[in-house]
């Protein structure tokens, strides 16, 4: 006989309070890293950092904890929110402590296991050491890894978590970084409508406009934003006028090679509708502005990508179709994946 609702509902709520976040508590089998069919082999070396539920949960806690910043105000999640594909929506440049402003638009975070480098200039060579950049950048968290380790080491809750994740309670820089990597490497996006279309699955039925958009996309964008990752991990100069206040030379700052002047990482276009604004400095707020730039706004310079050396010709209808296609790269299963929420646990 069913419980009267008057009892059942409070009982259910009470049970929810008792179990807290454990309603979504992770089991090891929920943390299977998937290499989707037809995708290349991941670049990240999982053998040196095996993903465990405790390691993942420690990484998740660190990702959402402003303890990483010098004044305890800013967390990774401050500029990387899940529903936007882990970027900072509506903020052209990333923010840091004391309202400081960085010089670049925060990148999306997903499918990181396939990244051959990190940051807009590719200066970071491994997912595990990537968090060092925001942690130490004076415009972002303005901290040191040594300080982070010291702070975490004074927290009994954290030491317990390091014990669970690594077998003893020692807090080290290496472990902080490996734990964060265990969390972020699991941000996988491969269940958009486009993916279902490619896999011939239900829900992958594309409209005529979307199909035409895909055709135009393959003709005009595919050489850099190639499927299935929608990036070829290269650095390109896409003909943007130099912002004379930011004077960002891009990849050249890393390689000192003038050929790399004004070249920036080709970002993935998965979840692109949710991750506005666009380009390394967030100068465009809509995808139409981006496409208008590619057809009408290219600024010539010696390092300009060869693809832009001859004009890209797209009608307004073509652009609308491409945008219709880009919309189906939104992966709601990823953007609302409960494993990546902040549980304050």
Q: Which spans of this chain sit near other proteins (rule: CB under 8 A)? A: 45, 48-49, 119, 123-129, 132-133, 135-137, 144-146, 149, 172-174, 177-178, 181, 253-254, 256
Q: Which of 230, 263, 257 is nearest to 119 (CA)?
A: 263
Q: Quote the least distance from Cβ 175 to other proteins, whole Å.
A: 8
- Residue 321's H or E segment, with its range, is helix 316-327
Q: Quote the least distance from Cβ 146 to other proteins, whole Å.
A: 5
Q: Quote the least distance from Cβ 122 to other proteins, whole Å.
A: 10
- CA dist 198 and 201 (Å) reads 8
- Please state, as a whole number, how many other Cβ atoms lie within 10 Å of the Cβ of residue 40: 9
Nearer to other proteins, 133 or 155 (CB): 133
Nearer to other proteins, 177 or 323 (CB): 177
Residue 275 near residue 85 (C-beta atoms within 8 A): yes
- CA dist 232 and 239 (Å) reads 18
Q: Quote the least distance from Cβ 130 to other proteins, whole Å.
A: 9
Nearer to other proteins, 104 or 196 (CB): 104
Q: Quote the least distance from Cβ 241 to other proteins, whole Å.
A: 25
Q: Quote the least distance from Cβ 93 to other proteins, whole Å.
A: 16
- CA dist 175 and 161 (Å) reads 11
- The DSSP-derived string for 32-49 is -----TTPPPPSS-GGGS
CA dihedral 309, 315, 319, 320 (to 10 degrees): 180
- The DSSP-derived string for 67-88 is GGSTTS---HHHH-BGGGTSB-
- The DSSP-derived string for 262-311 is TBEE----TTGGGG-SBSTT--B-SHHHHHHIIIIIPPP-TTB-GGGSS-
- CA dist 334 and 323 (Å) reads 20
Nearer to other proteins, 144 or 295 (CB): 144
What are the helix and strand counts (H, E) for the chain?
Answer: 13, 2
- The beta strand positions in 24-113, using DSSP E, are none
| Phi, psi values for residue 340, rounded to 5° | -100, 10
Q: Quote the least distance from Cβ 139 to other proteins, whole Å.
A: 11
Q: Quote the least distance from Cβ 168 to other proteins, whole Å.
A: 12
Question: What size, in residues, is the chain?
Answer: 345
Nearer to other proteins, 144 or 233 (CB): 144
Nearer to other proteins, 77 or 129 (CB): 129
Between vectors from CA 150 to CA 145 and to CA 154, what angle results, nearest 5°? 145
| Phi, psi values for residue 208, rounded to 5° | -60, -40
Q: Quote the least distance from Cβ 245 to other proteins, whole Å.
A: 20
Nearer to other proteins, 63 or 284 (CB): 63
Nearer to other proteins, 137 or 226 (CB): 137
Nearer to other proteins, 132 or 198 (CB): 132
């Amino acid at each position: 006989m069913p419980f009267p609702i008057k009892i059942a509902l409070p009982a259910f709520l009470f049970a929810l309070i008792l179990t807290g976040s454990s309603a979504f508590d992770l089991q090891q089998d929920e943390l299977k890293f998937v290499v989707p069919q037809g995708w290349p082999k991941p670049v990240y070396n999982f053998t040196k950092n095996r993903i465990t539920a405790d390691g993942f949960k420690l990484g998740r806690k660190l990702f959402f904890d402003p303890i990483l910043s010098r004044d305890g105000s800013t967390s990774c999640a401050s500029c990387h929110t899940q529903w936007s594909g882990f970027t900072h929506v509506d903020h052209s440049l990333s923010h840091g402590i004391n309202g400081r402003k960085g010089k670049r638009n925060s990148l999306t975070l997903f499918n990181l296991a396939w990244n051959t480098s990190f940051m807009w200039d590719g200066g970071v060579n491994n997912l595990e050491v990537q968090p060092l950049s925001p942690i130490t950048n004076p415009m972002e968290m303005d901290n040191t890894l040594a300080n982070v380790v010291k702070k975490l080491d004074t927290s009994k809750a954290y030491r317990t978590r390091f014990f669970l994740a690594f077998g003893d309670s020692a807090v080290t820089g290496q472990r902080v970084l490996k734990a964060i990597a265990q969390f972020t490497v699991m941000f996988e996006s491969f269940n958009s409508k486009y993916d279902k279309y490619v896999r011939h699955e239900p829900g992958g039925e594309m409209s005529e406009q979307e199909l035409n958009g895909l055709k135009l996309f393959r003709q005009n964008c595919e050489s850099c934003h190639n499927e299935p990752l929608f990036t070829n991990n290269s650095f390109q100069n896409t003909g943007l006028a130099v912002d004379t206040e930011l004077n960002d030379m891009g990849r050249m700052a890393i390689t000192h090679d003038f050929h790399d002047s004004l070249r920036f990482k080709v970002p993935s276009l998965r979840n692109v509708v949710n991750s506005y604004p666009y380009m390394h400095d967030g100068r465009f707020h809509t995808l139409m502005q981006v496409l208008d730039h590619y057809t009408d706004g290219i600024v010539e310079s010696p390092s300009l990508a060869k693809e832009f050396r001859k004009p890209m010709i797209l009608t307004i209808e073509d652009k609308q179709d491409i945008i219709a296609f880009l919309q189906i790269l939104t992966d709601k299963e990823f953007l609302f994946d409960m494993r990546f929420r902040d549980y304050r646990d």
